[in-house]
Amino acid sequence: MEYQEDVIELREIFRMFRKRLWLIVTITVLAGVMSASISYFVLKPEYQLTTTLLVNKKPTNDQLIYNEIMANEALVKTYEEIIKSRSIAQEVIDRLHLSLSVDQLDRKVHVGSVDKSQVLSISVIDHDPALAAAIANTLADVFKAKIVSLMNVENVQIVDRAVVLSNLQPVKPKPLLNTAIAVVLGLMVGAGLAVLLEYLDTTIRAEEDVYRYLEMPVLAVIGHIGGYPPKEEGTAPGAVERPEAPKLAVTEAAAGKGEAGSGAQG
């Protein structure tokens, strides 16, 4: 019995989605089209350029090589914070004559390092790839010059400078990914809206709806007026068919009221 109820519920779900299929498809298509249009025609592409630094000092004694490497690795995290400092950012703004505040420049810059590595990367994201490269390279130059006076050590070398290549691709936006996400979200919203509309629709269309919404058993069904039933086999030619009686579900409560009314009239 439980298995049959599960099957009925599953069929009901499919029926509900099939009934509101136009709504689900419409919302899904609109979400995908809007996302693709915004990604391709509204949002400006952003490019990322990176300058790579190496934190390493040539040891004066071969026996101190390991200790020097460990010390340089420990300094990498400190150097990340120094590169992001306000003093270095302000000097970069002054050198390049940027119309940016220190906070605005800071949001464009990302400094990172690989775990247990002496390599630092300065990445800058901007709509103008040439400007992004200039900011990354200037940050590296300013930091390399500042670190000598700040830490009293000269152990930073520039490995690779940021260069604008002819085949450079933007990192933002990603139209295909954005469209795929929008389609999935549109499908979810459409399905959720279909479920909500079906839940709010309490129209009684079948006998089982009477028990579902009114929680009353059906005692009788009255036929529907306005149509002729299909001609059955064996019907005499020329015979006039009577219209089918109207179908109306009669509940136990309605039947009780009818009996009470008849008794009052008698």
DSSP 8-state code for residue 109? E
- Cα torsion 248, 252, 254, 255 to 10°: value is 90
Question: If DSSP codes are grouped into helix, strand and coil, which group holds residue 205?
Answer: coil
How sure is the predictor about 153, in pLDDT bands with cuts at 50, 70 and 90? confident
What's the CA gap between 138 and 131, in Å, rounded? 10
Inform me whether the pLDDT recorded for 248 exceeds 70: no
What's the CA gap between 9 and 7, in Å, rounded? 5
How sure is the predictor about 245, in pLDDT bands with cuts at 50, 70 and 90? very low
Of residues 240 and 139, more confidently modeled: 139
The pair of three-digit structure tokens given for residue 229, joined into one six-digit string: 């039933």
Going by C-alpha positions, the residue among 203, 211, 212 that lies closest to residue 251 is 211
What average pLDDT does the chain have? 79
* Beta-carbon contacts of residue 72 (< 8 Å; ≥ 6 apart): 55, 56, 57, 118, 155
pTM exceeds 0.75, yes or no: no
Going by C-alpha positions, the residue among 171, 191, 187, 182 that lies closest to residue 34 is 182
Which of 99-108, 125-134, 158-167, 225-234 shows the lowest per-residue confidence on average (mean pLDDT)? 225-234
Q: Write out pLDDT tens, residues 156-209.
A: 889 999 999 999 999 999 999 999 999 999 999 999 998 888 778 766 666 666
Q: Name the residue ranges covered by the structural domains of the chain.
A: 2-43+173-200, 47-160, 207-229+242-265
Evaluate whether the domain defined by 47-160 bears CATH number 3.40.50.2000.
Answer: no
Q: Write out pLDDT tens, residues 46-96.
A: 999 999 998 876 555 554 566 666 666 677 888 888 999 999 999 999 999
pLDDT of residue 55: 84
pLDDT of residue 195: 85
Residue 226, sorted as left (phi over 0), alpha (psi -120 to 50) or beta, turns out to be left
What's the CA gap between 106 and 103, in Å, rounded? 5
How sure is the predictor about 117, in pLDDT bands with cuts at 50, 70 and 90? confident
β-pairing verdict for 249-251 and 109-113: unpaired
Helix (H) or strand (E) holding 55: strand 47-55
Inform me whether the pLDDT recorded for 228 exceeds 70: no
pLDDT of residue 152: 78
pLDDT of residue 262: 46
What's the CA gap between 264 and 38, in Å, rounded? 72
Check if the beta carbon of residue 249 is closer than 8 Å to that of residue 204: yes
Q: How far is CA 122 from CA 73, 105, 139, 207, in A?
A: 17, 13, 8, 71
